[in-house]
């Protein structure tokens, strides 16, 4: 009995030392790695006002045609109220918005993928979108629990070439993998979609049904497949470095700011050109719709170099 006890203690001590050594090793490694990553365009910002003004007349007239967005909204009947809200609010500002569902619902229209597995469904939706893109070159993937301001998305990618691979959103790290967080929306350029769909054919590196004991989330599987095709996640931010893709609701971010920056709550909180917010209730989304597209102080104007017209047949924007 005594020998067992002392073996146990020896084991514990050795285990502890092993852990310490491993964590130091890991820190050292990831430290150098993240530096390299920082060099590769990890942060993506929109054009500055000066740069916009320097563009020629012909460039300006081309831009609104180039930055047209195809929205893929991944729904399920369980999210019916959010689905209806997305349908009634922000998705009207996409050049084309298509709802992809796991099973059809009598209440709302969608492309029925008849697929319960989230990753398989995402793959099918991506393939469908690419085939039906027409001349649209930018793709935005979101759940109906996300609210997106498409005009600000267009502003972010205004000067980016969609025939280059772009994979943009709110980036997070999982070990070695940089991935775009799903809830705050995923932006893909035409070239990124093309490479991704090619990679779908590779059952080893980008399997449709995972063979592992545990399931990796779709956002990470997406990141992995894209990484193998040479496409890396980039964090969308404004000129001040504030994230444009938010995985929290506006009220949540305001509350955080009230705690951390009581002297300057609004300035420190969120970007003026924010693109997405997540985790909002349908009512909060209606208020956000009013707040973005209608409510404003008279006499304060922004003479933006580009104009986006409001969508037809809509009364809440």
Stretch in the footprint of another protein (CB under 8 A) among 174-182, 205-213, 228-236, 287-295: 287-295
Other Cβ atoms less than 10 A from the Cβ of 276: the count is 28
C-beta separation of 153 from 147 below 8 A? no
Query: Does residue 112 sit in helix, strand or coil?
Result: strand
d(CA 291, CA 275): 14
**# residues contacting another protein (CB under 8 A):** 76
Does residue number 10 form part of the binding site for another protein (CB under 8 A)? yes
d(CA 18, CA 23): 9
Q: Which of residues 136-165 bind another protein (CB under 8 A)?
A: 149, 151-152, 154-155
Does residue number 5 form part of the binding site for another protein (CB under 8 A)? yes
Q: Which of residues 230-249 bind another protein (CB under 8 A)?
A: none
Residue with tokens 């514990």, as numbered in its chain: 12
Taking the complex as a whole, the smallest distance from the CB of residue 37 to another protein amounts, in Å, to: 21
Q: Which of residues 57-86 bind another protein (CB under 8 A)?
A: 60-61, 64
Q: Which of residues 255-284 bind another protein (CB under 8 A)?
A: 255, 257-258, 260-266, 269-270, 272-274, 282-284
Candidates 263, 194, 275; CA nearest to 229 is 194
Other Cβ atoms less than 10 A from the Cβ of 4: the count is 8
Taking the complex as a whole, the smallest distance from the CB of residue 266 to another protein amounts, in Å, to: 5
- Residue 40 CA: distances (Å) to CA of 1, 33, 149, 175: 58, 11, 27, 18
Among 103, 161, 176, 304, binds another protein (CB under 8 A): 304
Stretch in the footprint of another protein (CB under 8 A) among 137-145, 174-182, 219-227, 252-260: 252-260
């Amino acid at each position: 009995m005594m020998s067992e006890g002392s073996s146990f203690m020896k084991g514990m001590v050795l285990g502890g030392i092993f852990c310490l050594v491993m964590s130091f090793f890991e820190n050292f490694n990831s430290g150098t790695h993240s530096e390299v990553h920082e060099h590769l365009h990890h942060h993506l910002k929109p054009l500055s006002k000066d740069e916009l003004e320097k563009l020629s007349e012909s460039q300006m007239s081309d831009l609104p045609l180039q930055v047209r967005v195809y929205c893929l909204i991944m729904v399920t009947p369980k999210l019916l109220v959010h689905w209806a809200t997305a349908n009634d609010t922000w998705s009207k500002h996409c050049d084309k918005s298509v709802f992809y569902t796991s099973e059809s619902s009598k209440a709302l229209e969608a492309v029925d993928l008849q697929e319960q597995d989230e990753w398989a469904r995402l793959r099918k939706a991506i393939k469908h979108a690419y085939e039906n893109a027409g001349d649209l070159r930018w793709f935005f993937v979101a759940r109906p629990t996300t609210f997106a301001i498409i005009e600000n998305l267009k502003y972010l990618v205004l000067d980016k070439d969609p025939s280059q691979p772009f994979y943009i959103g709110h980036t997070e790290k999982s070990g070695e993998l940089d991935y775009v967080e799903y809830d705050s929306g995923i932006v893909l350029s035409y070239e990124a979609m093309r490479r991704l769909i090619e990679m779908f054919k590779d059952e080893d590196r980008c399997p449709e049904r995972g063979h592992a004991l545990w399931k990796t989330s779709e956002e990470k599987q997406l990141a992995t497949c894209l990484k193998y095709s040479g496409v890396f996640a980039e964090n969308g931010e404004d000129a001040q470095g504030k994230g444009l893709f938010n995985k929290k609701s506006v009220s949540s971010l305001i509350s955080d700011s009230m705690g951390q920056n009581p002297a300057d709550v609004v300035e420190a909180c969120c970007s003026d050109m924010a693109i997405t917010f997540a985790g909002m209730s349908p009512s909060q989304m209606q208020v956000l719709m009013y707040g973005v597209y209608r409510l404003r102080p008279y006499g304060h104007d922004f003479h933006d170099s580009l104009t986006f017209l409001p969508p037809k047949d809509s009364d809440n924007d």
